[in-house]
Amino acid sequence: MGMQGQPLLVTSLIDHAAREHSDREIVSRWADGSQTRTSWGEVGRDARRFAAAMVRLGMNKGDRIATLAMNHGHHLVSWYGSAGMGGVLHTVNPRLFDEQLVYIINHAEDRVLLFDAAFLPIVERLRDQLPTIDHFILFDAPAREGYSSYRDLIDAEDGNFQWVELDERDPVGLCYTSGTTGNPKGVLYEHRSNVIHAITEIQPDVFGLSNRSVIMPIVPMFHANSWGVPFAAATVGSKLVFSATNDAEGLCDLMQQEGVTHSAGVPTVWIAMFAHMDASGTGYGKLERVIIGGSAAPRAMIERFMKAGIVVGHAWGMTETSPIGTMGKRPWNWDDLGFDEQVDIVCRQGCPPFGVELRIVDDADQPLPRDGKSSGRLQCRGPWIIKRYFKADSDATDADGWFDTGDVAVIHPDGVMQITDRAKDVIKSGGEWISSIELENAAVGAPGVQEAAAVGVYHPKWDERPILLIVKKPGTEASEAGILDYLKDKVAKWWLPDEVVFVDELPHTATGKILKRQLRDDYKDYKLRSLTDA
């Protein structure tokens, strides 16, 4: 063998960051508005203390250590510390329903639960139903009866812990999908998959991170590992800025104060931040690049950022893909393109970075051409794509390793992938498919529209016809006729919604996406005016 074969371990990420980028800061804004700073060096030392504390509490290699927490420095320490003692860090989404929380914590057989004081009511309510948990630990508050504290735990250790021996294929993280259909399923990340994903993410055509980057992941650490940002940032020593609350005002202030250059979040977060910026006159500070994903980024949002000179990385992925599946890169001839053409490109979900393979298939599983027209089920494979759900007894892929994403997409001749819908959200009208995503994104560009959702409602002749549910921007006017007129030249004629319904708000999932399943249920028996009038 001509080369050394060090395993690719999450511990090597923190060792590198602590050694090479020791002073680079990690900023945390806590739930009470206070702010603290540590550094990669301190996180490295505290991670060893955390690992020692877990061993002292009786944790063994492979044990699941759960967190119910927002983004902050202590949460980061627990990720790396757990990895170093061979633990599997299970990030639990606090916005799930009680039954889902109980289900996944019991399914994972978590032994420790670290949580933010803000979620104490959830823990108090559910702890009797969580028999596998031996230790409840408060991240950001002093110990109290029945609960120990992170600070006491860390302070009792000297930081000389030696990482346990690990294989790069050992599990290191666990995250459950939101369970849109059936029970949530656990995705088990490995050391190797996380490290390769991290190295990929820093690339210029992916997140474009470097030592001078200051990244504020708004996407929570419980949402697909905060899209891998806490791992990627360690490889180059970017400064990390965390906020434990996601109020637009606080995020905008933090962005300004800390000189944030990069940020990542779902579209709904940016909608709220734009509203705050418009009302307060706050600017973008040093923001250079935003990564938008989790659901399709609306055109109007992309245009707004681009007009401000900010690079928009439109990403597609899912919990099962660690999560980066594709990223909207600027092609080589970018500078020769006009603004509208550039925006057209960014509206699509982008290309797979090295490591991910993509294809679209028809109902008979036959691959479809990359012609920008054929639309089919999106499948992917690669070293950070799921093979098997946690505790499942069969693979989630076919024999060739293809994982079916549940999304419907086209692939353009230049390799750019475009999501047209989630398989279950497409509106089936007269045997043809209408993309709810395209309708929604066109609608958010109409004057006075803050948020839009397109759902199919029953129609005797066409099976389904689209209606648009619209939340108006505060203090503005929008009318059904105005919106339909705006859409006229933006979508095919037969895609035009049969009706526009104004609502006060739209329901969102635990990860901030529009909850289509609920809307479909709510509007299942909706009677179109054209039918009731007839």
Query: Using CB under 6 A as the criterion, which residues of the chain lie in contact with ligand ADP when the complex forms?
Result: 177-178, 180, 224, 293-296, 314-319, 349, 405-407, 419, 422, 509, 511, 513
Nearer Cβ to ligand ADP (261/405)? 405
Query: Which among 268, 249, 259, 274 is positioned nearest to 216, based on CA atoms?
Result: 259
Nearer Cβ to ligand ADP (64/422)? 422
Nearer Cβ to ligand ADP (315/452)? 315
- Which residue intervals of 238-350 are DSSP H helices? 248-258, 267-280, 299-307, 339-347
- Annotated active-site residue in 20, 25, 245, 433: 433
Inter-residue contact 12 to 231 (CB < 8 Å): no
Distance between CA atoms of 260 and 94, rounded to whole angstroms? Answer: 26
Residue partners of 216: CB distance under 8 A and separation at least 6: 240, 241, 242, 243, 251, 254, 255, 258, 260, 262, 263, 264
- In whole angstroms, the minimum distance from the beta carbon of 294 to ligand ADP comes to 5
- In whole angstroms, the minimum distance from the beta carbon of 233 to ligand ADP comes to 20
Nearer Cβ to ligand ADP (84/466)? 466
User: Can you give 104-159 as a three-state secondary structure string?
Assistant: HHHHHCCCEEEECHHHHHHHHHHHHHCCCCCEEEECCCCCECCEEEHHHHHHCCCC
Q: What element of type H or E holds 361?
A: strand 357-361
Tokens of 96: 């799930």
Determine the 3-state secondary structure of 524 from DSSP.
Answer: coil
- In whole angstroms, the minimum distance from the beta carbon of 201 to ligand ADP comes to 15
- In whole angstroms, the minimum distance from the beta carbon of 515 to ligand ADP comes to 10
Tokens of 274: 């734009």
- For residue 513, how many other CB atoms are within 10 A of its CB? 18
Q: What φ, ψ does residue 466 adopt, rounded to 5°?
A: -75, 140
**Does the annotation mark 428 as catalytic?**
yes
- For residue 61, how many other CB atoms are within 10 A of its CB? 14
Nearer Cβ to ligand ADP (403/495)? 403
Residue partners of 369: CB distance under 8 A and separation at least 6: none
**Does the annotation mark 40 as catalytic?**
no
Nearer Cβ to ligand ADP (38/405)? 405
**Does the annotation mark 513 as catalytic?**
no
- In whole angstroms, the minimum distance from the beta carbon of 204 to ligand ADP comes to 19
Nearer Cβ to ligand ADP (45/197)? 197
Residue listed under structure tokens 């526009």: 500
- Annotated active-site residue in 11, 38, 91, 177: 177
- Annotated active-site residue in 320, 440, 451, 464: 320
- In whole angstroms, the minimum distance from the beta carbon of 508 to ligand ADP comes to 11
**Does the annotation mark 177 as catalytic?**
yes
Distance between CA atoms of 122 and 521, rounded to whole angstroms? Answer: 27
- Annotated active-site residue in 428, 488, 524, 527: 428
- In whole angstroms, the minimum distance from the beta carbon of 319 to ligand ADP comes to 4
Cα distances (Å, whole numbers) of residue 124 to 118, 119, 531:
11, 9, 50
The set of catalytic residues is 177, 320, 428, 433
